[in-house]
Amino acid sequence: MKPVLMTYTRRDIINFCVLMFLGLIIIPTFISTEYWYTSILIPWLCLALATIGQQIVMGYTGQLALGAAGFMAAGAFAMFNLILRVPDLGFFGSLIVSGLIAAAFGILFGLPSLKVRGIYLMVATLASQFFIIWMIDKFGWFKNYDSSGIITAQDIVILGKPFTTPLAMYLVCLGVTAVLTLLAMNMARGSTGRNWMAVRDMDIAAESMGVSLLKTKVQAFAISAFYCGVAGALFAFCYLKSLEPVAFDIKLSFKILFMCILGGLGTINGAFIGAAFILLFPVLLNSVGNNVFHGAIDATIISSIEQVIFGLLMIIFMIYEPLGMAKLWENFKQNIKSKLSSSSIKNLKSSPLKNLKK
């Protein structure tokens, strides 16, 4: 079979737009239960966005970074403070600025990548995770001197209209995610993405072609942190509806890392697949536990089984399919295509050479 390259063509972009349009029209007409929006769709979109951020730095640029949740926290608390202190910015203005603030942190903590690599870089970037959380906890100003520890997020108001229903919040998340995903796809398939991948695959050769390692790595970290920052703000304002540093702990960073790896390193659609899998799998396990075994299995055991399966899958994917579920999906599509083209003569016409070669 022809090897599949994980790059994006104009057709993928069009497919994506169609998909997002469906998300905009179909889902709101068919799904009316709040549970789907508040517990599945909204966190899925937010975490997929953060995973795209992780993909950019890890999947595309090849820098092992672990600290996505730290940047998410930076974005979330920046959003809180911006809405509180600079109300004139508006919702989207604040969202962009909080992304930029997270990006500034990204640049700062991306600098070690110039000197260290691999697992050592992972340890160095862990600093961002702990530093940002510590900073928010330490200085009361970030939490507006709230003593309770958990701050309620402000309501989302866009152009004077409140967006507080689950459906409205879902639409906000969908809109932001769709736009940012489109931009990420454009970068990934353009010269920017080529520079990232060149640095990932062979940095010395990239440098000899005139790709600046400093600029490319720092750029990737900044863009990655921007995505995580925006995702964090949406996560806090649309999903948690509260702000607490604990929500952005190392566990969330690992979760995003898993989504990134299971979805497929160096793929953007993988971010969505990985996020969906990690989010939905526990739900599935729980319902299996409840409906098949009728609660005979303890909930704690189920959550342990979940960890075991995630771990196993990680190992299996790392060994057999580093491009993850996105690649499996791609293979599946190709299989269907080749089956279709061998059975119908119509398709033969469109690509006679390709079929002859097979």
Partner 1 sequence: MAYDRKFKIGKPILEVNNISLAFGGVKAITDTSFNVLEHEVRAIIGPNGAGKSSMLNCINGIYKPQKGTVSFKGKQIPNITPNIMAQMGLSRTFQNLALFKRMSVLDNILVGRKLHTKTNFLEVALQLPKVKKEEKINRDRSEEIISFLEIEDIKDTPVGKLPYGLQKKVELGRALATDSSIILLDEPMAGMNVEEKRDMCRFILKVNDELGTTMVLIEHDMGVVMDISDRVVVLDYGKVIGDGTPDEIMANQKVIDAYLGVEH
Q: What is the Cα–Cα distance from 179 to 226, expressed in whole angstroms? A: 14
Q: Which stretch binds partner 1 (CB under 8 A): 1-9, 90-98, 245-253, 324-332?
A: 1-9
Smallest separation, CB 266 to partner 1 (Å): 7
Return the residues of window 248-277 that contact partner 1 according to CB under 8 A.
266
Helix axes 324-343, 250-263, angle to 10 degrees: 20
Residue 29 binds partner 1 (CB under 8 A): no
Q: From the list 15, 32, 186, 303, which residue makes contact with partner 1 (rule: CB under 8 A)?
A: 186
Q: From the list 1, 5, 159, 356, which residue makes contact with partner 1 (rule: CB under 8 A)?
A: 5
Residue 114 binds partner 1 (CB under 8 A): no
Q: Which stretch binds partner 1 (CB under 8 A): 91-99, 210-218, 230-238, 305-313?
A: 210-218
- Name the residue nearer to partner 1 (CB basis): 194 or 241: 194
Residue 103 binds partner 1 (CB under 8 A): no
Q: Which stretch binds partner 1 (CB under 8 A): 20-28, 99-107, 153-161, 179-187?
A: 179-187
Smallest separation, CB 217 to partner 1 (Å): 13
Per the CB < 8 A criterion, the answer to whether 243 and 150 are in contact is yes
Q: From the list 194, 242, 250, 285, which residue makes contact with partner 1 (rule: CB under 8 A)?
A: 194
Q: What is the Cα–Cα distance from 170 to 23, expressed in whole angstroms? A: 10
Smallest separation, CB 95 to partner 1 (Å): 16
Q: From the list 22, 209, 283, 288, which residue makes contact with partner 1 (rule: CB under 8 A)?
A: 209
- Name the residue nearer to partner 1 (CB basis): 50 or 206: 206
Q: Which stretch binds partner 1 (CB under 8 A): 97-105, 142-150, 167-175, 178-186?
A: 178-186
- Name the residue nearer to partner 1 (CB basis): 179 or 284: 179
Residue 191 binds partner 1 (CB under 8 A): yes
- Name the residue nearer to partner 1 (CB basis): 219 or 253: 219
Return the residues of window 214-233 that contact partner 1 according to CB under 8 A.
219, 223
Residue 96 binds partner 1 (CB under 8 A): no
Residue 12 binds partner 1 (CB under 8 A): no
Per the CB < 8 A criterion, the answer to whether 236 and 76 are in contact is yes
List the one residue out of 171, 350, 326 whose CA is nearest residue 259.
326
- Name the residue nearer to partner 1 (CB basis): 181 or 253: 181
Residue 161 backbone phi and psi in degrees, to 5: -105, 135
Return the residue matching tokens 């890392």: 257
Smallest separation, CB 115 to partner 1 (Å): 15
Return residues touching partner 1 (CB under 8 A).
3, 5, 7, 183-184, 186-187, 190-192, 194-195, 197-198, 200-202, 204-213, 219, 223, 266
